Amino acid sequence: MKRTAGEKGFQIVNYVILAAAALTMIIPLLHLLAVSLSSPIAADSKAVFLLPVEFTTASWEHILQDGGLWRSFGITVFIAVAGTALSMLFSVLTAFPLSRKEFLLRRPVMLAIVITMIFNAPMIPFFLTVRELGMMNSLWSLILPGVIGTFNMIILRTFFMGLPKELDDSARIDGCNDFRILFQIYLPLSKPVLATVSLFYAVGYWNTFQRAVLFLRDPGLWPLQMKLRAYLTSPEELAQVNLLLGDYDYNTTTLKAATIIFASVPIILVYPYLQKYFVKGALLGSLKE
């Protein structure tokens, strides 16, 4: 079908806006990468933009030898993987019955769940609850209190509601119970929305910061974002460098840039593997309510 001039113009404007939005996100990362690969003098004199000046990998060699940073990286990976797995399990098990018309209490239960999106728990009662449950200074305090995201659960519920009712009928004729219907029929058909919601959860767990500030007292349990905060606010945590003598090919400026890239790139690399599901899943999960 031949497109009209208006449609072509809209597409061009749309591409320009999206390209500009993409550049606003990509350019800062490229700048930080260039700074991390530049000499201290060039970095401090603001001579670096998108390409390294006086190329050196000294900053990366230093942070990659930092055992504390790798420990925080491992903790963050654990939180992201375990948290995403538990969140997906409980979200699916909550969304499935709420999508069934046979569940007589689904409307009042759904109303109670939606209310939590409007009225969040106050911080002090939330803190006291987690403390009384014995999760202070534990990695589980970063996972269990927010194991189900209301918005993500609603996306799953809406997707399940859009699947043909005939699937249930034929499965029950074959003797399937609800668990078999969910795990053997619904979930294999739900890969796009599962991938989308998993990415939402994974990004949230990867960026865990506020709960870590509230509940973790042991620096040995700090996730990557807490470690990054310590490096950015207390440069002496990052490296003991003698800037006056110039004994090193790195300084706190280049080390901070390298650390930010180190903390950001892993979760960014996950997206290309889920991209083919992402848009489709987000749309399918929002069509019917």
Tell me if 72 sits within 8 A of 263, measured CB to CB. Answer: no
Cite the DSSP H helix spans in the chain. Answer: 5-36, 40-44, 58-63, 67-98, 106-118, 123-132, 150-161, 165-173, 178-180, 191-206, 210-215, 224-233, 235-238, 252-284
How much is the average pLDDT of 261-289?
Answer: 66
Rounded to two decimals, the pTM is 0.81
Confidence of residue 245 (pLDDT cuts 50, 70, 90): very low
The yes-or-no verdict on residue 85 having pLDDT over 90 is yes
DSSP state of 186: I
Q: Which residue bears the tokens 């509601």? A: 161
227 backbone dihedrals φ, ψ, rounded to 5°: -65, -40
pLDDT for 105-147, tens place per residue?
Answer: 888 888 888 888 888 778 888 888 888 888 888 889 899 988 9
Tell me if 249 sits within 8 A of 39, measured CB to CB. Answer: yes
Tell me if 51 sits within 8 A of 280, measured CB to CB. Answer: no
Residues in the chain: 289
Res 286: pLDDT: 46
| CA distance linking residue 282 with residue 279, whole number of Å | 5
pLDDT for 158-192, tens place per residue?
Answer: 888 888 877 777 878 777 787 888 888 888 888 88
| CA distance linking residue 56 with residue 61, whole number of Å | 10
